[in-house]
Amino acid sequence: MDINFPLILLWLVVITGAIWLVDSLFFARRRQQDAEEPVLVEYAKSFFPVLAIVFILRSFVVEPFQIPSRSMVPTLQVGDFILVNKYAYGLRLPISRKKVLDIGEPERGDVMVFFPPHMNETYYIKRVIGLPGDEIRIEDNVLYINGERASQELIQALPPANPQVEVMWEEIDGERHLMARHIEPSRFANFSGVVPEGHYFMVGDNRDNSLDSREWGFVPERDIVGKAFAIWMHWEDLFSLPSFERVGSIQ
């Protein structure tokens, strides 16, 4: 089961704030001037401001995530720690996900964090390929959006001695990003459909090794979390040292 960290953080803010408030209103004045505060109250007063600031920042400004899978290789590697802009697509209330302020909309090529329709409490990260109303067609891993082919440029085939995967530049709406595809296409290499209104078509950059909208369908606008914009650290596992070689913006 996935841990609902935002909900836990919200409850910690509410509990510590309530303890501090109740003590201030009903008990602080009754204590003798030189009497010590109860330990619980002391901890609540210490932690409440910190927890409240963290909650506000994570809910409305920026939230950190760690990449757990290879579905976005070569753009994102397992162990990358990334930052996600929580207001790029509008301000949303935590937990309920209700949008309260429109600021911007997803664009083709954005790397976006969201909740997929088949696992609605689990964070996923993919690239926005299709906007509402777009006609999407994929033929042997070649992408067509509204009948227009996305250009692809081969960078290298890996491994060199016996190539199995091609690493390529792909260009969508004038912006380039990296992608990988198997020389022998998988069952995900072909797709066609029209993106419904209020939904988005999401695909991993590791095209033949990604479960995405080709498998579980389109992502509703209400399930958007935010736009991934930077890698700030790479730490693959507990038996390795953190690295900052991959620090930079996400293309």
Give catalytic residue positions. 71, 126
**CA angle centred on 109, ends 211 and 243, rounded to 5°:** 75
In angstroms and rounded to an integer, the radius of gyration of the C-alpha atoms of the chain is: 23
Name the token pair of 84.
């996600």
The DSSP element (H or E) to which 8 belongs, if any, is helix 5-22
- Give CA separation, 99 vs 85, 96, 164, 191, 213, in Å: 15, 9, 44, 31, 23
Instruction: Tell me how far apart the alpha carbons of residues 84 and 226 are, in angstroms, rounded to a whole number.
Output: 6
Bridge partners of residue 128, in order along the sequence? 202
Instruction: Tell me how far apart the alpha carbons of residues 237 and 235 are, in angstroms, rounded to a whole number.
Output: 6
User: What letters, b where the CB count within 10 A reaches 16 and e where it falls short, cover 175-188?
Assistant: eebbbbbbeeeeeb
